[in-house]
Amino acid sequence: MTMMKAAVFVEPNRIVLEDKKMPDVGPLDALIRITTTTICGTDIHILKGEYPVERGLTIGHEPVGVIEKLGSAVSGYAEGQRVIAGAITPSGHSNACLCGCHSQDGAGTKHGFKPMGGWRFGNTIDGAQAEYLLVPDAMTNLAPIPDGLTDEQVLMCPDIMSTGFSGAESGAVKIGDTVAVFAQGPIGLCATAGAKLMGATTIITVESVPARMEISRKMGADHVVDFTKGDVVDQIMALTDGRGVDVAIEALGRQETFQGALRVLRPGGTLSSLGVYSSDLVIPLGPFSAGLGDNKIVTTLCPGGKERMRRLMSVIESSRLDTRPLVTHRYKLEEIEAAYDLFANQRDGVLKVAITP
């Protein structure tokens, strides 16, 4: 076979399934036959033209598959092995990698954004919403799937779980902490689960969709605050007896949620931001204590690389977390345009869609 099906960005508001040439496998690459993938909220920013990518690029950064072909210099893997690769595929040898910032691999700027060079799939190189995916720097990025785990059990590892957990990790949640998580989409839900795994004993989440409120409790929320039923900041401050929270995780990417997260912090607390923003943020003077509040504001892009993926899959394998309830809809790759339509419009209680070629 020399051609394959791939979901390609054509122009804003158009991602379509096209025939595309099979990629050539370089010495350090691996070719993966995709068995399951999914659509991310970031892909919707791309679809809407809010995050720019080249026309003709294959979208998607959450691959589960089987090794079809290994590059000539790749060792330690076998063709036919089931693997995942992170949404972020660091080279392992850049200055950013060696500083521990694998996601920011690379240099230069793209459309005015700072590097984010580790994010390559569906950003700077062809992505996972296709029959086949070329994984660069395979020995840094391919993570074998433990026997007995299904595709859907590990589907959240490449991005959703890695990003969600990183909200709690970058916020340095401690045993006994009170944590607020703003928005309970897939990443927010995994941030809730991550905060619980790290030892938070009071987790307050913000959500208004009933199905998401219910899953939020399953993932570890002690209180779910409905922003349609009164001021969120007032509700959280009341639940903490006026103390505020140790860590507030922003998982939506909007001005209101960012400011809400800032407002509920205790003095010295940490705002851990995961959202993808579409416009400039305003930092209000009062909640920012005019710059004197000893607060930390940290941002994180999904940690990648095979060791991160191994750890996340070990969380699943050891039954510390089951992310299967997040997969609410299933589509064939041929139906991906319908899947985009459902996901972009957030219809029918969708959290994540599983796409199978």
92 contacts 305 by C-beta, under 8 angstroms? yes
- Which residue's CB is nearer to Zn ion, number 157 or number 232? 157
Paired tokens of 19: 């025939």
Greatest C-alpha distance within the chain: 64
Q: Is 42 in the site for Zn ion (CB under 5 A)?
A: yes
Q: Which stretch binds Zn ion (CB under 5 A): 10-18, 36-44, 143-151, 264-272?
A: 36-44
Task: Candidates 30, 39, 40, 181: give the one binding Zn ion (CB under 5 A).
Answer: 40
By rule CB under 5 A, what count of residues binds Zn ion?
A: 3
Q: Which among 243, 241, 261, 240 has a CA at the least distance from the CA of 251? A: 261
CB 162, CB 303: distance < 8 Å: yes
Nearest-CB residue for Zn ion? 40
- Count Cβ atoms below 10 Å from residue 7 Cβ, excluding itself: 27
Q: Which stretch binds Zn ion (CB under 5 A): 5-13, 66-74, 153-161, 325-333?
A: 153-161
Specify the 3-state DSSP secondary structure of 146: coil
What character string, x for contact with Zn ion (CB under 5 A) and - otherwise, covers 176-215?
----------------------------------------
- Rounded distance, CA 326 to CA 40, Å? 12
Which of 40, 53 has the CB closer to Zn ion? 40
CB of 38 to Zn ion, least distance (A): 9
Question: By C-alpha distance, which of 26, 44, 32 is closest to 7?
Answer: 44
Could you tell me the smallest distance in angstroms from the CB atom of residue 27 to Zn ion?
A: 28
Supply the minimum distance, in Å, between the C-beta of residue 159 and Zn ion: 4
If the CB atoms of residues 106 and 164 are measured against Zn ion, the closer one turns out to be 164
Residue 159 lies near Zn ion (rule: CB under 5 A): yes
If one asks whether residue 168 binds Zn ion (CB under 5 A), the answer comes out as no
Question: Look-up: residue for tokens 């984010």?
Answer: 116
Neighbours of 343 (CB within 10 A): 24
In angstroms, what is the C-alpha Rg of the chain?
Answer: 20
- 82-84 and 178-182: which strand pairing? unpaired
Count, residues in the chain: 357
Q: How far is the CB of 129 from Zn ion (least distance, A)?
A: 12
Interacting stretch for Zn ion, rule CB under 5 A, among 39-47, 167-175, 227-235, 313-321?
A: 39-47
User: Is 89 an interacting residue with respect to Zn ion (CB under 5 A)?
Assistant: no
Using an 8 Å Cβ cutoff, are 177 and 194 in contact?
Answer: no
Q: Are 119 and 59 in contact (CB under 8 A)?
A: no
Shortest Å distance, C-beta 60 to Zn ion: 9
- Alpha carbons 86 and 100: distance in angstroms, whole number: 16
Nearer to Zn ion, 224 or 302 (CB): 302
Nearer Cβ to Zn ion (41/171): 41
* Stretch of 26-34, 140-148, 159-167, 201-209 contacting Zn ion, by CB under 5 A: 159-167
Nearest distance from residue 290's CB to Zn ion, in Å? Answer: 35
User: Which DSSP state fits 141?
Assistant: H
Place of tokens 């990183």: 166
The residue among 59 and 247 lying less far from Zn ion, judged by its C-beta, is 59
Residue 197, Cβ neighbours under 10 Å: how many?
16
Q: Which window, 34-42, 96-104, 133-141, 174-182, contacts Zn ion (CB under 5 A)?
A: 34-42
* 137 is a contact residue toward Zn ion (CB under 5 A): no
Stretch that binds Zn ion, among 33-41, 123-131, 290-298, 322-330 (CB under 5 A): 33-41
Q: Which one, 51 or 288, has the nearer CB to Zn ion? A: 51
Query: Cα separation of 65 and 82, whole Å?
Result: 6
Residue number, 126 or 177, with CB nearest to Zn ion: 126
- Taking contact as CB under 5 A, which single stretch among the options 105-113, 144-152, 157-165, 259-267 is the one that binds Zn ion? 157-165
Pull the structure tokens for residue 205.
């989440």
| Residue pair 84/309 in contact by the 8 Å Cβ criterion | yes
Q: Which residues bind Zn ion (CB under 5 A)?
A: 40, 42, 159
